[in-house]
């Protein structure tokens, strides 16, 4: 398991609310490497990490789920066929091998 992401209008404010309630911040709010999207990471009591993403006006707060898989093409095929997801992008990343992002189509469920 990698992490899941939750969208919010204001990452810094959300992180402070979580911190005030005892949450462990593992990455302070700031832009992603090479990008503009502001993110932060929180760790839950069981050690699972979740990402807070700044996406103002988003209707769906659960923005993404990231999984580490052994066969990326097989995983993409499964999520496209079984869950109706659409491949948004796939790119090589030296630190994490290959990254792909899929989106759940709102009319699927």
35 vs 38: CA distance, rounded Å: 9
Separation of alpha carbons 91 and 89, rounded Å: 7
Closest CA to 53 of 31, 68, 33: 31
Average pLDDT over the chain, rounded to an integer: 78
Q: Which position among 16, 43, 51, 54 bears the catalytic label?
A: 51
How far is Cα 94 from Cα 87, in angstroms, rounded to an integer? 20
Q: Which residues pair with 50 in a beta bridge?
A: 4, 42
51 annotated active-site:
yes
Q: The pTM is what?
A: 0.61
What digits encode the pLDDT tens for the residues 97-108? Answer: 666 666 655 433
List the CATH code of the domain at 1-66.
Answer: 3.10.180.10
Which stretches of the chain score pLDDT less than 50? 106-109
pLDDT at position 13: 93
pLDDT at res. 96: 65
Domains of the chain by residue range: 1-66, 67-109
**Strand 3-8 to strand 49-54: parallel, antiparallel, or no bridges (unpaired)?**
parallel
Q: Measured between alpha carbons, how far is 11 from 80 in angstroms, rounded to an integer?
A: 30
Q: φ and ψ at 12, to 5 degrees? A: -60, -45
Q: Please write the tens of the pLDDT for every residue from 66-80.
A: 667 777 888 788 777
């Amino acid at each position: 398991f990698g992490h899941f992401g939750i969208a919010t209008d204001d990452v810094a404010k959300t992180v402070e609310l979580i911190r005030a309630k005892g949450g462990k911040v593992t990455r302070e709010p700031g832009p992603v490497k090479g990008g503009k999207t502001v993110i932060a990471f929180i760790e839950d009591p069981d050690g699972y990490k979740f990402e807070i993403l700044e996406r103002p006006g988003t209707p769906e707060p659960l923005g993404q789920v990231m999984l580490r898989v052994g066969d990326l093409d097989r995983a993409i095929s499964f999520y496209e066929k079984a869950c109706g997801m659409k491949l948004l992008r796939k790119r090589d990343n030296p630190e994490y091998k290959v990254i792909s992002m899929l989106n759940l189509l709102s009319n699927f469920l």
